[in-house]
Amino acid sequence: MQQWLDSPQRSSENKARDQYRHPGETLGFFGLQPTQKVLEVWPARGWYTEILAPYLKDQGELTIANFRHNDGSLEDERKIFWAKLSARLDADIRKNPQHFGAVKDLEFDPPAMMQLGPVNYYDKVLSFRNSHIWNEAGYLLDVYRAFFDVLKPGGTLGLVEHRSSRLSEISSRAGEGYLDEYYVISVAQQAGFVLVERSEINANPLDTKDYPKGVYALPPTLAMGEINRARYLAIGESDRMTLRFIKPLPTVQ
C-alpha cells in the first residue's frame, strides 16, 4: 500500500490531505486485500481511486460506481457538476492505464439508477463522505440496501462520513453536510448490515460543526471564501466517523 501512497502519480495537493484522510490506516481498518473485488461508490475526483486502482490491478478488481453521465437531460446544477467530475475521472483513468489498470465503471444515480453489479459479487463496498447526500435526497436506506445486495456474505461495507455533534442519546446537532453517527449505524442495520467496529482514525476534535455553510466552510471546499479563512484552515478537514460493517453469513439450518 505504501508504494501507492508515495507514488508520483499522486499530486502534492492530494498527498497533503493524507493528514486528514489517513488512507493507509483507513483502508487497513476496512481489511482491504490486493486480491479482493472492490466497489468504490461516487469517487468524485478519484482521490481514493488513484490509490485503490494500482493496489488492486494485478490480483484484484476495482469497480467505480460513478455519477451518471450527462446526456443533456440534467438540469440540476449540482448533478451537472458531479457528471463533469465523473467524466474527468473516466478520462484520467483511460489516459493512464499503466497506473490504474483495468478499472470497471458503472453509473449510479439514486433512485433511477441503482444497479451496482451482480448479487453477492464484491468483497468490499467503500463509500467516502457520500451518505449525507443520499440522506438529504431521502434515499439513504435504499442505497445501503443496494450495497447489501451486491456484497458477498461476510463482505465488508466501509463508510467514512462527516460526523455531527452528539447532544444526547436521542439528539444531535447536524450542520449542513454532517450526519449523526448513531443514525448512520441504525440505517445500515435496517439494511441488514452488522456493525463490526468503529474507529477514530479520521476524528478531528477541532471541528466545532457550527459554521454558516456547514462542513463546506472547511477545507478543501472553503465555501466562505476569505471570511475566517485562517480559522478554517487551522481547523482542517471535518471530524469523521469511520465504520466497518459486514453482510452476515447465512444462518445454517
Chain segment 27-65, per-residue pLDDT in tens:
999 999 999 999 999 999 999 999 999 999 999 999 999
- Is residue 113 within 8 Å of residue 107, measured between CB atoms? yes
Cα within 13 Å of Cα(103), Cβ side: 30
pLDDT, residue 159, reads: 98
Which band of pLDDT confidence, cut at 50, 70 and 90, is reported for residue 165?
Answer: confident
CB-CB neighbours of 101 under 10 Å: 17
- Summarised one tens digit per residue, pLDDT across range 167-183 is 656 555 567 899 999 99
Phi, psi angles (nearest 5°) of residue 94: -65, -35
Cell numbers 433512485 correspond to what residue?
111
- Summarised one tens digit per residue, pLDDT across range 102-143 is 999 999 999 999 999 999 999 999 999 999 999 999 999 999
Nearest residue to 188 via CA among 178, 197, 201, 177: 197
Nearest residue to 98 via CA among 63, 58, 61: 58
Which band of pLDDT confidence, cut at 50, 70 and 90, is reported for residue 189?
Answer: very high
Q: What is the mean pLDDT of residues 156-176?
A: 79
**Secondary structure E strands in 78-193:** 104-107, 122-128, 151-162, 165-168, 171-173
pLDDT, residue 253, reads: 64
Nearest residue to 215 via CA among 234, 240, 198: 240
Q: Is the peptide bond before 111 cis (omega within 30 degrees of 0)?
A: yes
Q: Is 124 exposed, middle or buried (0-12, 13-18, 19+ CB in 10 A)?
A: buried
Phi, psi angles (nearest 5°) of residue 21: -100, -20
12 has pLDDT over 80: yes
Q: pTM for the full model?
A: 0.94
- Summarised one tens digit per residue, pLDDT across range 190-220 is 999 999 999 999 999 999 999 999 999 999 9
Q: What is the mean pLDDT of residues 181-189?
A: 96
CB-CB neighbours of 252 under 10 Å: 4
pLDDT, residue 177, reads: 93
The H-or-E segment that residue 183 falls in is helix 181-190
The alpha carbon dihedral of 148, 249, 193, 62 has a sign of negative
> What one-character DSSP code corresponds to residue 6?
S
- Summarised one tens digit per residue, pLDDT across range 66-86 is 999 888 888 889 889 999 999
State CA 61 to chain mean position distance.
Answer: 18
